[in-house]
Amino acid sequence: MIKEFDIYVISDSVGDTAEQVARAAAEQYKNADYEIKKHPYVESRTKIDDILDPIDNRNSIVVYTIVNQETAQYLEDKCQKKGFPFIDIMGPCLSTFTDFIGQEPARESGVIRKLDEDYFKRVEAVEFAVKYDDGKDPRGILKADIVLIGVSRSSKTPLSMYLAHKNYKVVNIPLVKGAKVPDQVYEAPRKKVIGLTIDPSDLIEIRRERIRVLGLDSGVDYVSIDKIIEELDYAEKIMRRVGCPVIDMTKKAVEEAANLIIDIINDLN
């Protein structure tokens, strides 16, 4: 009976899946001690040789997730020559999926790693949108992928968050009459800046609802139609000076507007 052994986890990606399966299995044997030696991102025969050739402990088992058939076969042949038992974690799963779906797998290595990278990019974009929301720090303007400018309640923040989930770093800047527009708005590449406008009658309804929710006085200038028209006129002048594309948010869903923005950005790039 083996008392101690090594588990070599070899993967063309991070190797977490193979490690977790190997550990779960090894923990079932209470009278044996083991050590896991993980080798991620193994995509060549040379790397396999580098890992397996130096091993002189006969009490070793190889657990692997390698989707490239030739590389996986080379690993198995190498294990057989060395006398190591080996376990293919991904192979049986792919085989069953192939029979079920009726098509061959792409066998692309590092797919999960790519998904993880997308996830972290999305998290970074969301954190960026929160940090630079509503003009909190104009220094974010020159770092952003997209800069949204417009009056209050023209959907700047909802758009910023939606676009962040599409991996875009977004800054939104409120245009308030009497308040200085950050210099960075004029310095940013025109292809990054998008103006948002909205019909005055729609905007006043949105603002009234906001006032009601906050429990504030409904007689404030914030919901005055004359003041709203002044604000929109002022914002339009700024947008003309910037020379940016303008999207009318009247009756427009955030998803629809976001797709328009993405199309504009992509066309200009």
Average pLDDT over residues 1-28: 92
Average pLDDT over residues 17-30: 93
**Sheet of 4-11, strand order:** 33-39, 4-11, 60-65, 86-88
pLDDT(105) > 90:
no
pLDDT(108) > 80:
no
Range from 23-37, 66-80, 205-219 carrying the lowest mean pLDDT: 205-219
150 annotated ligand binder: yes
Domains, the chain, with CATH or none? 4-109 (3.40.50.10700), 134-268 (3.40.50)
Beta-bridge partners for 164: none
pLDDT for the residue 196: 98
pLDDT for the residue 104: 86
153 annotated ligand binder: yes
Going by C-alpha positions, the residue among 118, 116, 132 that lies closest to residue 166 is 118
**Percentage with pLDDT > 90 across the chain:** 72
CB 234, CB 175: distance < 8 Å: yes
**pTM of whole model > 0.75?**
no
- The residue that leads in pLDDT, 121 or 118, is 121
Query: Do the bridges between strand 146-150 and strand 60-65 make them parallel or antiparallel, or are there none, so unpaired?
Result: unpaired
**Percentage with pLDDT > 70 across the chain:** 95
Q: What are the pLDDT digits (tens) for 178-225?
A: 999 999 999 999 889 999 999 999 999 999 988 888 877 766 788 899
Q: How far is CA 204 from CA 46, 133, 175, in A?
A: 68, 22, 16
151 annotated ligand binder: yes
178 annotated ligand binder: no
Which H or E run contains 147? strand 146-150
pLDDT for the residue 192: 95
Share the mean pLDDT of the chain: 91
pLDDT(80) > 70:
yes
**Three-class secondary structure of residue 10 per DSSP:** strand
- Report which DSSP code applies to 216: -
pLDDT(67) > 90:
no
pLDDT for the residue 223: 85
Place of tokens 């050590």: 35
pLDDT for the residue 113: 61
pLDDT(114) > 90:
no
60 annotated ligand binder: no
Q: What are the pLDDT digits (tens) for 234-265?
A: 999 999 999 999 999 999 999 999 999 999 99
Alpha-carbon distance of 183 to 199, in angstroms, equals 27
Average pLDDT over residues 141-168: 96
80 CB contacts (<8 Å, ≥6 apart)? Answer: none
pLDDT for the residue 119: 77
pLDDT for the residue 72: 93
Alpha-carbon distance of 130 to 161, in angstroms, equals 8
139 annotated ligand binder: no
- Report which DSSP code applies to 140: G
Average pLDDT over residues 33-46: 94
155 annotated ligand binder: yes
